[in-house]
Amino acid sequence: MTVDTPTRIPADNARASERDSAAEAVRRAVADTSKHEVPAAGDAATLPAPHEPLCAPVTVINSSDPEFNAAVADLEHTLIGLFARVRTTIRERAELLRPGLQPGAYKALGTIISHGSLQAGELAELLGSDRSTTSRLIRQLVEHDLIVRTPDVHDGRVINLSATDAAIAGIQELREAGRSRLYENMRDWETEDIARLSHMLRELTGLV
């Protein structure tokens, strides 16, 4: 019985065959690209269309009443000043509570105190910040001994954040001092005016 043995191809012939195949592939690629016409410079009709804008231009709608427009513009300017003052107050209180404490950490601490106990994800959602920013604020509060992290009683994998007694006392003292100044500065206001202002601010909050 005769068994056919496969014919061995010399290594040099195999490499030559591979080179020929590669060269043929290059020739095909060049031939394919030559089938597509390249638009001539300055030929706008053949150039690709520009991308559409992501959104339409913003149009400012004004009332036909110039006094109304001026009043709204003045309100906007006043609110900008008010928000700036609030940010300054938060920064000052954070520094008084713990030197070097960031305003964001102070705000996070106040949020934790208001809710009693929060998880990191819940705190991030309430602050409107991402997880990395919230983690940095939590770390700073822990370093200043303002909050503690404790495992949840129902699920040990869950960590709850709660304020320390010193943090609660410090925040309460700062808030009472600020409230006392507000009471003193508004002593000459009519009670009805204060109630009306509070009501209008709540309505404005739903509009902005």
Collapsed DSSP state (helix, strand, coil) of residue 151: strand
Q: pTM, whole model, 2 decimals?
A: 0.65
Collapsed DSSP state (helix, strand, coil) of residue 134: helix
pLDDT of 155: 83
Collapsed DSSP state (helix, strand, coil) of residue 48: coil
pLDDT of 61: 62
pLDDT of 62: 67
pLDDT digits (tens), the chain, 208 positions? 444 444 444 444 444 444 444 444 444 444 444 444 433 333 434 344 444 444 455 455 667 888 899 998 999 999 999 999 999 999 999 999 999 999 999 999 999 999 999 999 999 999 999 999 999 999 999 999 999 999 988 887 889 999 999 999 999 999 999 999 999 999 999 999 999 999 999 999 888 7
Spatial distance between the Cα atoms of 181 and 154, rounded to a whole number of angstroms? 44
User: Which residue type is seen at 168?
Assistant: I
- Cβ 161 vs Cβ 134: under 8 Å: no
DSSP secondary structure letter of residue 44: G
Domains of the chain: 66-185 (1.10.10.10)
